[in-house]
Structures are given as C-alpha cells and as structure tokens.
Amino acid sequence: MGEQTGTVESVTIDRSWSGPVHGGFVSRHRMVDLSAPAATTAINETWELTAYDLPASSVPVRLFDLVVTQSCATSDPVMLRKHHYGGLGFRGPDAWDGKDRLVLLTSEGETRRDRANASRVRWCYLGESRAIGAAAGILILGSPENFRAPQPIRVHPTMPFFSFAPSALGDFEITPVKPLVMRYRFIVSDGPPDQNRMEAWWNGYTVQAEVSITTP
C-alpha cells in the first residue's frame, strides 16, 4: 500500500438484517494488484459482521463478531510473504496517539508495547489512559480456530495501532481450493482493563455451553 502497488475496493453490501437479538451485514471487497500491466483483482474478501444486543450490566459493553473470508480471484494461488504487518488491523482515535497515551494489555499479561510486539496472544486490549480522559477501550479476541492461532501481533511503538499478523511467522498461501477464514470478537467497554473480566469474555467466546434436559 505504501508503494502504491495495490489497493482495496468496496464492491457491495450483499445483505443486512436487524432483530431483537442481533443485527449485522455481509459485505464484499476486492484486493487489486496495481503492479500488473492491467489492474488485476487478486483476492476477493467477504466480511460478515454481527452486533449483539446485550442486557444492561455494571460495565457498559458493546459487542460484535467479525468473520473475514479471503479467496483467490483467479485460478492461481496468492503467496503472502513474511511480514510483521498483515491480517486484521485496528487503529484507535487520535486521542490515543503517542507513546504514553495508550493503555495496552494482552492475554499474557503484558502491558509494554515493545514486549507485546511479536508475541502470540489470544486477545489484546487497547484503551485510553485515564490521565487524558475517562477510561475506555476495545478488546479484540482472536478465535482459536484461526490460522496459526494464537496469532502473533504487531504493536506500533507510538501510534494507537496493532494487528493480528499470522504472516509474521512466515510465508503462506491462499489457494483456489482453500480460502483463508479468520474470526474475531470485538468488545468495547467503559472502565479500566480488568484481566479477569477479559478472561471471562474469552471463555464466553470460545467455550461452548453444554445443555442437558431432564424430565421428571
């Protein structure tokens, strides 16, 4: 992107819905190779986003799930080279910009950017320092079903940016017969980060509930 050899274009919103439990949309995008003699679509991408209506609680929460599917646009595989960026990225607001203006916490208990960078984590929290405003932030959980889970992360040294970057572990391919599917949960909440609460949210995301029915 920095060398202007590629771009991502929005194609359409296939469908959207709303209801008493959840709402969402399915959208399509294309990743275009601009380095070819004629611009060529290399990857087709689909987002399925589902936002849930949660009951009121002591900690205000907004929650949505995102499923990203990337498939080859031609009969040729797409090689993704090793790089410290890649995958799902998130950038916080300008108020979080600066080395000391961001609160970070990973599933491994790390709070320092340099030590968190390149580590493999189940979830990562980014938030606003209470020194500059009300404590609030976003927790992003990576599904254990994701490719190379737990995925390594890239944490920028000064900007409020991080990404789950499976490409940091080496080259890999998206093939015509096997799309790349990645799943994440986003939880936006007020208050400072609480690791026990976030572990509970992780269990709610990854542990299937068991239901048994008995008759008298």
Q: Can you give the three-state secondary structure of the chain, one letter per residue?
A: CCCCCEEEEEEEEEEEECCCCEEEEEEEEEEEECCCCCCEEEEEEEEEEEEECCCCCCCCEEEEEEEEEEEECCCCCEEECCCCCCCEEEECCHHHCCCCCEEEEECCCCCCHHHHCCCECCEEEEEECCCCCCCEEEEEEECCCCCCCCCEEEECCCCCEEEECHHHHCCEEEECCECEEEEEEEEEEECCCCHHHHHHHHHHHHCCCCCCCCCC
Closest CA to 103 of 124, 129, 121, 122: 129
> At residue 1, does pLDDT exceed 60?
no
What's residue 24's pLDDT? 98
Q: If pLDDT is split at 50, 70 and 90, which confidence band does 179 have?
A: very high
Q: If pLDDT is split at 50, 70 and 90, which confidence band does 21 have?
A: very high
Write down the domain spans for the chain. Answer: 6-206
Please state which of the ranges 55-59, 93-97, 144-148, 209-213 shows the lowest mean pLDDT.
209-213
Paired tokens of 188? 């936006």
Mean pLDDT of 83-90: 92
> At residue 88, does pLDDT exceed 80?
yes
Share of the chain above pLDDT 70, in %: 97
Neighbours of 168 (CB within 10 A): 21
Mean pLDDT of 155-176: 95
Share of the chain above pLDDT 90, in %: 75
Alpha carbons 86 and 71: distance in angstroms, whole number: 16
pLDDT digits (tens, 9 = 90+) for 98-147: 888 889 999 999 999 999 999 999 999 999 876 655 678 999 999 999 99
Mean pLDDT of the chain: 92
Q: If pLDDT is split at 50, 70 and 90, which confidence band does 148 have?
A: very high
